[in-house]
Structure 1
Amino acid sequence: MKTTISKVSNYLNEEVTIGAWLANKRSSGKIAFLQLRDGTGFIQGVVVKSDVPEEVFQLAKNVTQETSLYVTGKVVEDTRSPFGYELQVTNVEVIHESVDYPITPKEHGTEFLMDHRHLWLRSKKQHAVMKIRNEIIRATYDFFNKEDFVKIDPPILTGSSAEGTTELFHTKYFEEEAYLSQSGQLYMEAAAMAFGKVFSFGPTFRAEKSKTRRHLIEFWMIEPEMAFTNHEESLKVQEEYVSYVVQSVLENCQLELGTLERDIEKLKNVKAPFPRISYDEAIELLKEKGFTDIEWGEDFGAPHETAIAESFDKPVFITNYPAAIKAFYMKPDPNRSEVVLCADLIAPEGYGEIIGGSQRIDDLELMEQRYEEHNLTGDAYKWYLELRKYGSVPHSGFGLGLERTVAWISGVEHVRETIPFPRLLNRLYP
C-alpha cells in the first residue's frame, strides 16, 4: 500500500511504501537508521541486516543525504519517537541519488542558509515553521468564513498609496505611474460597502530600509473590514480571531511546536478578552520603566513595545494614539479630537505589533479636510472619497501581519524564517 508519513497510523502493523527523501542516517554494524521525510512529516526507518537482502542493507548504509527513495516496510508503534511510529524496512529503492548536498548536519551561518533557502526549507525546524504558517492561514479562513465574511482580493498594482507614505515601490504601468500595494485596506473599505463584512489575504510591499528582525520588504497581510461596525466591536473581533488562531495551532501543530521547543504554556493563555491600555497610559508606563525621554506625541519603537508587553501575559491593545502619528483615514475620538479611535495589538515575548486597526472616518466633510491636510487632492483618491458620498456608514477594520504572527506563535526570533522565500533589504535571491 502506497501512503504518506502523515497517514501511517492508518496502517499499523501493515506493510506500506512511502516516497521519501533521506534527511539523515546513522548505522552500526547490523542496523541502519534512516531519517525519512516526505513533505507531510518525518519518520525513522530501521533496516536490520538479518531481515533484508544484503544489497538492501548495503544500499541503506551507503545512501546519501537527500537522495530520493521508495521505502517499503512495516508500520510499528515507537513510544520513543515524538511521532509515535517507525518503519521496519524491508526494501529500499533509489529514485535519484543526491551527491554533495550542501546543508549538512553541522552548523552553518545564516547567510549561507539564506543563500540556500530553496534547500533549507527541507530541514525539520523550517518545515515546522511552514506547517504552523499553513495552520494559521487555514484557521484564518475558517474563522472568517464562520463569521460570514466574504473574501475579496484587492489589486497588487495601485495608482496611489494606502497611507500616504513615501515607502513605496514605483513601477511604470504603461504610460502611468503605479505602485506595488502597501495595503489592501482602502479597497476593502469599498468592498465592505458592497458585502458588509469582508477580508483579504495577500502580499504587501514596503520600501522601508530596515534590517530589524521584525521587518520584511514583502510580507502577507490579513485585512478584514466591517460595515456598521464601531471601534469597540472591531476590537472584539480582533481578540476573538487571534485567540482562535492560537488555539488552532495548539490543537493541530503539537509535533511542530515540539520540534521548535516552543513553550506552549504561554500560548495556552492566549484567550479573549485581551488587556487594553490607552496611549496616555502607555506613555506613563514607559516612563515608570525608565524610558524618561519618551514624550506624548511620539510613536513607539520596538524597545517601547517590548517593555509594554512585558507587563502583560497576553497580547495587549494600545488604544487612542495621537492623530498626528496615525493614518489620515482614522476617525477622531468624538470626545477628544487630538486622538483617534485606533489600536495596535502588541504580541507578548518581544514580538511587537501584530495588528493595527481603527474605526475609519465616515463623514464626507471631515475626509475632504483630511485630503487637503495630506495633499491627497488628485484623481487617484477620488474613488475613496466617494465611499463617503454615497451611503456612508460607520465602519472599522484592521490588518494582521502574517509573518510576525508566525514568528510569535512558533517562537522564531527572526521573521525571515517565517516566509518561504524572504525578501530583505539586501536579499532578492533565491
Structure 2
Amino acid sequence: MGFGGAEAGARTLDAADPGHRHLFLVPPAEGGRHPEVAYLAGNSLGLQPRATREELLADLDAWRRLGVEGHLEAERPWLPYHELLTAPAARLVGARPAETVVMNSLTVNLHLLMVSFYRPSGERTRIVIEDSAFPSDSYAVRSQACFHGLDPDTAVVRLKPRPGEDTLRTQDVLDFLAAEGHTVALLLLGGVNYLTGELMDIPAITAAGRAAGAVVGWDLAHAAGNVPLSLHDWDVDFAAWCSYKYLNSGPGALAGVFVHERHLGEEDLPRFEGWWSTEAATRFEMTPVSRPPATVEAWQISNPPIFAMGPVRTSLELFDAVGMPALRERSLRLTGYLERLLDEVTADRPLTVITPRDPERRGCQLSVRIGAGSAGELTKRLRHEHGVIADAREPDVVRFAPVPLYSTYHDCWRVADALAATVPVSARSEPGSRAPQSRTEGGHTS
C-alpha cells in the first residue's frame, strides 16, 4: 500500500484550506524528510500558540516592575485578571458570562460542583457515568459516594455499550433514564468520550435526565474547543472542562466551570467558600462572613494564579478571532479526509476505527484499535520512524486528533502513510469492514 500519489493531493488541499498552523509552534521531527512532526495528539496536550510566550513574559515583567502594586497598576491588573477570561470562555461553551468562570483544575472543579449538586436523598442516590469514563472521573464520583456514606459499587452506575460495540448509544442512555431515572441523583457523562471520540447527544440526554428529576452535569474535557456547545440553551445544570487539550493553554492549565443561571444565588445550595467566593466590591472589608455574588464566581475559592491565567487568555483570544463555527467546518473536512485514508489502510490490516462514522456524532478524534501488539509500542514507532505523534491508550487503542486550528491534510496523509509502513498487511475475515457500532450513527439506532 502506498500513498505517493495522495501526498500531492494532501498538499493541494492544504493550499486551499490552510488553517492557522502559522500561529503555533510545532515540534521538530527526529530526522527524516519532514522538518516538523505530524502532531495528532492535541486531544492530550495542545500545541503552544506563538503569542503565549510574549504575553506571559509581559505579565512577568509587570511583577518585576511593580511588585505588589501590579494588583491594580499592571497593564492587565491582577485583581480582576480572571474577568478577562470570562466573556470569551462563555462564548466558547455557549453560556452567559455570569454562568462561566476559569479556575482550578478539572477534577478539583468537578468535586466543588458535586458538593453543590450531588445531594443523595431517599431512593435517589445514584451517580451515572459511562463505563469508559476517564479514570479521574471514576475516582471522583466513587469518592463522592463514599463521602456521603454510600457504597460506591452500588451508588455509581457505569453505562456500558451493547455487547460487541464500543460506543454508548444515546437511546440506551435515554432508556436507562426512563426506567431508572427515579434513582439517579446525578448524571455525569463526558461530552466527547476520551477513548472512542464519540460526541454524546448532550441536549437530548440533558433533557431526559432533567425530566427524570436528576441533576445533569457534563465533563467537557474533550469537547471544549473541539465541538460547538450551547450549555445555557441546552439547560445543562453544570459543566467543567480543562484548557490544556484543544484550548492549547499549556500542561496543567487552568480549567473552566459553568453553572446554569437558575442555580445562581440559590441560598440553600451548599458550596465550599474561600477568599474569592465573596463579592469583589466588599472583599477588602475583611468581614468574617462571605457575601457571595449571584454568579458562578461564588464557586471560586482562592485568588487566581495570574501566570497560569495568561496562557488561557491568549488561547481564548485565538478562538474568538477564528470562531467555533469555522473551526467546526474545517474539523469536519479534515477528520473526514483522515477517515477516508484510514479506511484504505485498515482494509487489509488488523486495525479498526472505533469512532462513529457519522460526522455529527464525533469531534476531531479518530480512535484506532490495533489487533496485535501494544498501542504504546506502535506510537513509539510512529514517532521515531515517521515523525508522527499520536496518543496511546493501552492496551490497544491509538488516538489521532487532526486539530482544525493547526493540523494539516498533509499531517493526515503522514498518519496513513506511517500506519501503512508500520503495520503489516494481514488476512481479515471481512476486508474493508468497520466495527458494527461505528455504523450506528454514533448513538442513533437508525
TM-score, structure 1 normalization: 0.26
Mark the structure with the bigger radius of gyration. Answer: 1
Richer in helix (by share)? 2
Report the structure, 1 or 2, having the larger strand content.
1
Question: Which has the bigger relative contact order, CA under 8 A and spacing at least 6?
Answer: 2
